[in-house]
Structure 1
Amino acid sequence: MPLGVRIFAVYFLFVGLSGWFVLSTVMDEIRPGVRQSTEETLVDTANLLAEILRDEVRSGNLAQSHLPALLEAYGRRRPQASIWGLTKNQVNHRIYVTDARGEVLLDSSGRAVGQDYSRWNDVYLTLRGEYGARSTREDPDNPDSSVMYVAAPILDGQEVIGVVSVAKPNRTLQPYIERSQRRLGWLGAGLIALGLAIGALLSWWLSAALGRVTRFAQAVSEGRRAESPGVRSGELGQLATAVEQMRTELEGKAYVERYVHTLTHELKSPLAAIRGAAELLGGELLDGEMPAEQRRRFVANIQQEGARLQQLSERLLHLAQVEQRQGLEERVEVPLAALVEELVSAQQARIAAGDLRVELALEPALRLCGERFLLRQALANLLDNALDFTPPGGLIRFGAERRGAFIELYLFNEGEAIPDYALARLTERFYSLPRPAGGRKSTGLGLNFVQEVVDLHGGELAIGNIEGGVQVRLSLPGI
């Protein structure tokens, strides 16, 4: 299982369980919380009524007072109140008053006057000087029919002369409880979903960052070119920087070691030729018997091998600079036709000496996107190869066309076909075929350099035989 999935699974489990626990706990607390608030209001109402009713209860004129009519009128009221979106269209309080013995003197419902309520907790406890309250079901089989009763003492000095009880059915509170639970449920579910979405995003980001670092490390371990993973902050940024530094150090050491071996091998042949020619010339100076033609030939060998050494060192330097890169230093617009014309113009002397024909079939509007110096060097190497392998009087032709976001550049030269065994090795470092003119090989670095430049630009290089000669196809990003 991917690391990001495991992180999200743990996060999902933690957030889900925590959210469910908190939400269920809060949901369970809504009902008692609402009832506690209602009870607190009933306490205030009962104590207020106790003060209002004190004189009538003390004088024994409660039944003959105007209070029964007031309670009856109270029960008929229709408030039509909108309370947080819920409409209240009737009053729900029941109020009854008992004397000091617990006998009901007044009942707003009109059904308990004269009954003995002294054993109900609200009356019983209040008459004993304690806080009196109870919750009783109107229907014993229906738990939702419970009614909350809160009582307050009617005092004459310190003496309890009666009790006033205020009752409210719990079912009248249920709409408010359900509304709060629904709103809290939606809000809680939304917060949990938001938390999970943030967790998913965090897991995706972490997994993606780790994936980039992992792919970068794998590319480094396989010796492939790879750009920095682009993680710049926190521990992952430090890890990416450490891997980048490790890659630079390891590649630098391995690169120097490889090039020392290859350069030593390639320098043996020209140095041996120079040394042999120098020894022969030195011996001739001692005995003076070497003919002038032979001396010229040895001097020419020394010059030729010296030029070869210079070319080898320059191309190795260019190749080393390209191979050490992980990306382009710039991406600019490069007119293709103008670039090719510049290269052909620079080689005009060789073209004229070989009586070669050069055809340019390039639209002026075609433009490459990349690093101009590297593109020029790559095309110059390809043109050098074409000039080397084209027989006198032969044809070299440049062509190009746009294919989507890329430009396909074709370079054809007349000449012998490339042997099948060599086709797959043409871009290998130091691999070269004998030139038709003198049978000598080149440094074997030109096509390897071209391949590196093409790879840096994200393009493709293909070399193959076609009718009449050889064609090189370059696919490079265009504008």
Structure 2
Amino acid sequence: MKIGLRILLGYFLIVGLAAWFLLNVFVEQVKPGVRATQEDTLVDTAQLLADLVADDVRAGRLQQSAIATRMQAYAGRKVDAKISGVAKETLDYRVYITDARGMVLFDSTGRDTGKDYSRWNDVKLTLQGKYGARSTRSRPDDDASTVMHVAAPIMDGARIIGVLTVAKPNSSVQVFVERSQQKILQRGAVLLLLSLLIGIAFAYWLGRALRRLMHYIGEVEAGRKATLPALGNNEIGTLGRALEAMRDKLEGKEYVEELMHTLAHELKSPIAAIQGSAELLQEDMPEAERRHFLANILNQNARQKQLIDKLLALVRVEKQQRLAAPERVDVAALLAQAGADVAARLAARGLRLEVRTDALSLHGDALLLRQAIGNLLDNAIDFAPPGSAIALSAGASGRHAEISVRDGGAGIPAYAQERLFERFYSLPRPDGAKSSGLGLPFVREVMALHRGTVEVRNGAAGGACATLRLPLS
């Protein structure tokens, strides 16, 4: 499982558990909270009404009192109100009054007058001087039929002469409970969805940054040219820059060691030849032989200079990870310049250069491309039979430009196919000259900088064909 998905699942698990816990607490606390508010209101109402009827109960004229008549009329009154979007059409209070023995003297519904309520907690506890309240189902098998009863003592001085109870069905506030719970769940679902989207965005950002860093590491590990992607000024960016710095130091050290080893190995032969010729020149010899050994010293010195120059050029492109200042390059002009660079060598060997190109342009470094094509032309000149033609062509193939150099030589031996791009490896020339073996490695590095490829193979009609394939965009 990828790290981005792991982080997302872990984040969502934590957020989901936290949301579930909070929503569960809120939803479960809505009903007790609303009912506590209802009970508080019933306490105030019961205390107020108990004070209002105290004189009538004390005088024994409760049934004929104006307040009893009004409470009786209250039970049948209709209303038209909207509370938080919920319609209210009936009044839900029930009021009953008992004497000091718990016998019902008045019931606003008129159904329980004369009954003994002394065993109900609201009346019983109030007569004992305690807070009296109870919740009782009006239908034993239906929890939704619970009615809350809150009582207040009717006082004659310090003596309790009766109890007034105000009752209200819990179902009258249940709609508000359900509405609040529904809103909490809806808002919770939106919050959870928003948290999920934030988690996905964060996981995507983190996963994308890590994928770019891993791609860079993979390219480095494979030995391909790679530049550190933009990772931002954060911990991942810092890690990427640290890896790049470590890579530069390690590669630099390894590269220098390898370079010094190969350079020392390649310079042994010309240095030995110069040393031998110089020692022989110390002896007396015919003038012709002296000129031969002097020419040998000059040739070997030129070979060393060519080797060092080409090696330095190769070092520059090998250490370069990106093109410094890419520009639009006209392919026809590029081929003309490369042909002009080798005109003298072509003439010296009696060779013709046949150039054919389509109207193309590509993005790159004109100087490096010119040097790469020049190296391919140098190889073709070395192997082409005198008086033959070398074909230099360019054309479009899909979204790529293909630049080819063909000669009419003997072609590439099978044993050399896999080693053509090795540093310092070269095939013997027909005239016995020795190459530096750095031309094709240079071409390969230039192609890597341009996100292109190079291929050298035997042509269908004989000779060798080297093809550069470069993106057009």
TM-score by length of 2: 0.90
For structure 1, which segment, 189-198 or 103-112, has the greater mean C-alpha deviation from structure 2 after superposition? 189-198
Q: Which amino acid aligns with 2:342?
A: Q
Structure 1 runs of 4+ with >6 Å offset: none
For structure 1, which segment, 144-153 or 391-400, has the greater mean C-alpha deviation from structure 2 after superposition? 391-400
CA distance in 2 between counterparts of 1:61 and 1:311 reads 132
Q: Among 413, 420, 423, which residue is 1:419 paired with?
A: 413
Q: Which amino acid aligns with 1:426?
A: L
CA distance in 2 between counterparts of 1:331 and 1:45 reads 87
The number of residue pairs the alignment matches comes to: 472
Report the equivalent of 1:388: 382
For structure 1, which segment, 171-180 or 61-70, has the greater mean C-alpha deviation from structure 2 after superposition? 61-70
Secondary structure at 2:39 match in 1: helix
Which structure 2 residues correspond to residues 39-58 of structure 1 after superposition, within 5 A? 39-58=39-58
CA distance in 2 between counterparts of 1:58 and 1:403 reads 112
CA distance in 1 between counterparts of 2:107 and 2:433 reads 126
For structure 1, which segment, 382-391 or 221-230, has the greater mean C-alpha deviation from structure 2 after superposition? 221-230
Report the equivalent of 1:34: 34
Report the equivalent of 1:275: 275
CA distance in 2 between counterparts of 1:164 and 1:88 reads 25
C-alpha displacement of 1:11? 3.5
Which structure 2 residues correspond to residues 440-451 of structure 1 after superposition, within 5 A? 440-451=433-444
CA distance in 1 between counterparts of 2:397 and 2:169 reads 81
Secondary structure at 2:407 match in 1: strand
Matched, 1:307 2:299: no
C-alpha displacement of 1:122? 1.6
Change over 3 Å in CA distance of 1:124–1:253 after alignment to 2: same
Which structure 2 residues correspond to residues 28-427 of structure 1 after superposition, within 5 A? 28-214=28-214, 216-217=216-217, 219-220=219-220, 223-228=223-228, 230-283=230-283, 287=284, 289-291=285-287, 293-364=288-359, 366-427=360-421
Q: Which amino acid aligns with 2:164?
A: V
C-alpha displacement of 1:443? 0.5
TM-score by length of 1: 0.89
Q: Which amino acid aligns with 1:290?
A: P
For structure 1, which segment, 409-418 or 262-271, has the greater mean C-alpha deviation from structure 2 after superposition? 409-418
Report the equivalent of 1:460: 453
Change over 3 Å in CA distance of 1:262–1:55 after alignment to 2: same
Gaps of 5+ in 1: none
Change over 3 Å in CA distance of 1:377–1:184 after alignment to 2: same
For structure 1, which segment, 373-382 or 316-325, has the greater mean C-alpha deviation from structure 2 after superposition? 373-382
C-alpha displacement of 1:310? 1.4
CA distance in 2 between counterparts of 1:132 and 1:87 reads 31
CA deviations over 1:258-297 (Å, ceiling 9, x no partner): 11110011111122222222233332xxx3x422x43333
Change over 3 Å in CA distance of 1:224–1:41 after alignment to 2: same
For structure 1, which segment, 234-243 or 266-275, has the greater mean C-alpha deviation from structure 2 after superposition? 234-243
Contact kept, 8 Å, 1:334 with 1:372, in 2: the verdict is: yes
Change over 3 Å in CA distance of 1:306–1:146 after alignment to 2: same
Contact kept, 8 Å, 2:376 with 2:440, in 1: the verdict is: yes
Change over 3 Å in CA distance of 1:242–1:58 after alignment to 2: same
For structure 1, which segment, 60-69 or 266-275, has the greater mean C-alpha deviation from structure 2 after superposition? 60-69
Report the equivalent of 1:470: 464
CA deviations over 1:59-98 (Å, ceiling 9, x no partner): 4433223334433443334433333332222222212233
C-alpha displacement of 1:146? 0.9
Change over 3 Å in CA distance of 1:43–1:377 after alignment to 2: farther
CA distance in 2 between counterparts of 1:373 and 1:172 reads 89
CA distance in 1 between counterparts of 2:52 and 2:352 reads 123
Change over 3 Å in CA distance of 1:444–1:212 after alignment to 2: same
C-alpha displacement of 1:223? 4.4
Q: Which amino acid aligns with 1:428?
A: E
Q: Which amino acid aligns with 1:308?
A: R
Contact kept, 8 Å, 1:370 with 1:477, in 2: the verdict is: no
C-alpha displacement of 1:247? 1.5
CA distance in 1 between counterparts of 2:393 and 2:76 reads 100
Change over 3 Å in CA distance of 1:73–1:412 after alignment to 2: farther
C-alpha displacement of 1:110? 1.6
Contact kept, 8 Å, 2:328 with 2:361, in 1: the verdict is: yes
Change over 3 Å in CA distance of 1:156–1:384 after alignment to 2: farther
CA distance in 1 between counterparts of 2:423 and 2:162 reads 113
What is the RMSD of the two structures over their aligned residues, measured on CA atoms? 2.6
C-alpha displacement of 1:440? 1.4
C-alpha displacement of 1:445? 0.5
C-alpha displacement of 1:304? 2.2
CA deviations over 1:181-212 (Å, ceiling 9, x no partner): 22222322333343344344444544454455
Q: Which amino acid aligns with 1:340?
A: L
